[in-house]
Amino acid sequence: MSTYSAPLKDMRFVIKELIGIDDIAALPGCGEASADVVDAVLDEAAKFAQEVLDPLNVIGDKQGARLVDGKVVAPDGFAGAYKQFAEAGWNGLAGRPEYGGQGLPQIVAMPLQEIWSSANMAFCLCPMLTSGVFEALHVHGSPDLQKTYLPALTSGTWTGTMNLTEPQAGSDLSAVRTRAEPEGDHYRIHGTKIFITWGEHDMVENIIHLVLARTPGAPEGVKGISLFVVPKFLVKTDGSLGERNDIKCVSIEHKLGIHASPTCVLAYGDDKGAVGHLVGEKNRGLEYMFTMMNNARLGVGMEGVALSERAYQHALDYAKTRVQGRAIGQRSGDRVTIIHHPDVRRMLMSMRAQIEAMRALAYTAAAALDKAKHHPDDTERKNNQALVDFLTPIVKGWCTEQAVDVASTGVQIHGGMGYVEETGAAQYLRDARITTIYEGTTGIQANDLVGRKVAFEKGATAKAVIAAMRALDGELAPDAELAPIRASLAAGVNALEEATDWLVATYPADANAAAASAVPYLKLCGIVAGGWQMARAALIAQKQLAAQQGDTEFYSAKLVTAHFYAEHILPQAAALGHTVVKGAGSVLALEAAQF
């Protein structure tokens, strides 16, 4: 069994050299994120994750959360680890200083989320949802609600949940039926919510639920849904906890993965109705939910990177210790560890190359989020917001789809032992499997990308990104060693442009055809954007190597990995481009009855 070791060298490379932390630290309100502070934060977070969270990952998977007499019991050790996590102040990393947070930017928060998720994804979901609730209340809640809930959600003494899904309302939230009846200064909530992550547990004294529900006479569909804050224990005016609210956890799901994270069915208002307070204005709940869902989607994309990294480390450890067969062409002599076999190498390189590309892209999106929020210049803010909007479904969709692939490759490297739970390789695959589903499936992400992002603005941001990719060509050109990377990126960008043009032209006339090509287009975007970042990384590595500066071993490995990406991953762009432009017809040609 391997132990997690945060990939700090590559994380620092991306944060400092590829993105440039100094640029982010120079933004108003981001001054705390200086390079030395980021270094110290990464070191300490890595240590905490390695020593406290990682050892609980397998226990959490084997034991799982349990429902005992209506109470959810977290796996052994989780409550203690959560207490340590909150006491160390990690929960308030990106929280606002006025509520006790550290106000660090996303370029620090996202890498930390990678570290937590790699070490123990099921655990990490709890603080991740808490920060989502914080965000929603911070942006849309009344000063009263903020005062009541935000300090405890920052310190982590209370945790938060999101209650969207109902049995009949999954991806289609317009079908939400939960009712909210006005009563004095509050509402009484009645209904059943499912798939509530960490919806009930014994790690903290109070849980704050954000619940989508309909008020009497609200319009049908998405325009009639309001957002309510519903605490497990009512909070008195002096801040102390009062009566238990009318919320019950009636069951928890048996799932493929993330066993330690209780996925709850919550019954609201079996008795008198659960007391809830309206967040913001009536009927605007879904819109509010989406402000934080975009951040959460980037966060789930980050989980994809995190699980891929963990699966890679696990497989690498096995490949370096498992002795099997002689090196190819050797008929005698010692048997070798399987890392000496070319196909195992190929699998490891494929994992590594995709992880580095995904990490670079996800952190780039995080940096764009910081610029969109803090940049003093209006145009810069606007452009970066457009970039974040464009990249969010790509990071979410692509990084999670690849995570399933990468974790599966991790199992493959273990051979038969990978299929046996004992080696631990399968857990990452099982845990990764949810990431392409929750916070909007890959299909939902792709429709968002194609409809709301690309077609709606006639490909403007996509074209701007394509132009930035093309601008790299001139920098790559003088160096003959980078020629294969340059050629591969150019071909990928051409495929992306052709597909984007096709989508912009097709969507208004035939939205069905565009939707049929949406997921291949999303993957195409991810692969080419990843190739773009790897090419940028190769340029930096080459410059440093030429100047004989810094960690030459790291830079030469980065260069090889960028070549691998250009030769093995990026060429898939052409095939995906073909599918986008030519493939919609056969998707839709059969009648439903012919299936």
**Cα–Cα distance measured from residue 172 to residue 250, given in angstroms and rounded to the nearest whole number:** 23
Distances (CA, A) of 397 to 71, 84, 295, 356: 34, 32, 14, 16
Comparison of 48 and 268: residue with beta carbon closer to another protein: 48
Q: Answer yes or no whether residue 336 interacts with another protein by CB under 8 A.
A: no
* Identified binder of another protein from the candidate list 48, 78, 123, 228, rule CB under 8 A: 48
Pick 153 or 465: Cβ nearer another protein: 153
Q: Measure the CA–CA gap between 589 and 21, rounded to whole angstroms.
A: 50
Q: Go through the chain and tell me how many residues it has.
A: 595
Beta-sheet strands, E only, within 93-173 = 158-163
Q: Cβ 253 to another protein, closest distance in Å?
A: 33
Strand, helix or coil for residue 180: strand
- Sign of torsion over alpha carbons 83, 86, 89, 90: positive
- Residues whose CB is less than 8 angstroms from the CB of residue 453 and which lie 6 or more positions away in sequence, other chains included: 389, 390, 393, 461, 462
Q: Please state the closest distance from residue 90 (CB atom) to another protein, in A.
A: 6
What is the footprint of another protein within residues 78-137 (CB under 8 A)? 84, 87-90, 92-93, 102
* 362 class by beta-carbon count within 10 Å (0-12 exposed, 13-18 middle, 19+ buried): buried
Report the C-alpha gap between 306 and 299 in whole angstroms: 10
With 0-12 / 13-18 / 19 or more C-beta atoms within 10 angstroms meaning exposed / middle / buried, residue 260 is buried
Contact between 47 and another protein by CB under 8 A: the answer reads: yes
CB 317 → another protein: shortest distance, Å?
13
What's the closest the beta carbon of residue 551 comes to another protein, in angstroms?
Answer: 4
Tell the smallest beta-carbon distance from residue 364 to another protein (Å): 24
Three-class SS of residue 360? helix
Choose the stretch contacting another protein; rule: CB under 8 A; options: 48-56, 274-282, 373-381, 564-572. 48-56
Give whichever of 550 and 571 is closer to another protein, judged by the CB atom.
Answer: 550
Nearer to another protein, 76 or 87 (CB): 87
Closest to 111 (Cα-Cα) out of 3, 6, 258: 6
What element of type H or E holds 243?
strand 241-244
Q: Which of 566, 557, 556 is nearest to 533 (CA)?
A: 566
Using the rule CB under 8 A, is 484 a contact of another protein?
no
| Cβ closest to another protein, residue 102 vs residue 533 | 102
Minimum Å gap between C-beta 89 and another protein is 4
Q: How far is the CB of 44 from another protein (least distance, A)?
A: 5
d(CA 416, CA 422): 11
Residue 42 or 394 having the CB closest to another protein:
42
200 given a catalytic annotation: no
One-letter amino acid at 83 equals K
Nearest approach in angstroms of CB 101 to another protein is: 9
Footprint of another protein on 50-69 (CB under 8 A): 51-52
Contacts of 51 (CB under 8 A, 6+ apart): none
CA distance 430 to 432: 6
How buried is residue 573: exposed, middle or buried, by Cβ count under 10 Å (0-12/13-18/19+)? buried
Binding mask 543-562 for another protein (x = CB under 8 A): -------xx-xx--------
Tokens read off for 376: 């003093």
How far apart, in whole angstroms, are the C-alpha atoms of residue 177 and residue 175?
6
Max Cα separation, the chain? 85
Nearer to another protein, 36 or 185 (CB): 36
Tell me the C-alpha to C-alpha distance, in Å, between residue 383 and each of 108, 176, 178, 291.
21, 35, 38, 18
Per the residue annotation, which of 17, 114, 439, 497 is the catalytic one? 439
With contacts defined by CB under 8 A, how many residues of the chain interact with another protein? 27
Q: Binding to another protein (CB under 8 A): which residues in 16-45?
A: 32, 34, 36-37, 39-41, 43-44
Nearer to another protein, 166 or 356 (CB): 356
Q: Which is nearer to another protein, 102 or 350 (CB)?
A: 102
C-alpha–C-alpha distance, residues 321 and 338, integer Å: 8
Q: How far is the CB of 82 from another protein (least distance, A)?
A: 13
Nearer to another protein, 511 or 557 (CB): 557
Residues 6 or more apart in contact with residue 403 via CB below 8 angstroms:
303, 304, 305, 307, 308, 311, 432, 435, 436
Distance CA 420, CA 374 (A): 49
Give bridge partners of residue 149 from the DSSP assignment: none
Q: Minimal distance in Å, beta carbon 31 to another protein?
A: 11
DSSP H or E run through 57: helix 55-63
SS3 182: strand
Q: Which residues of the shown chain bind another protein in the complex (CB under 8 A)?
A: 5, 8, 32, 34, 36-37, 39-41, 43-44, 47-48, 51-52, 84, 87-90, 92-93, 102, 550-551, 553-554
Cite the active site residues: 439
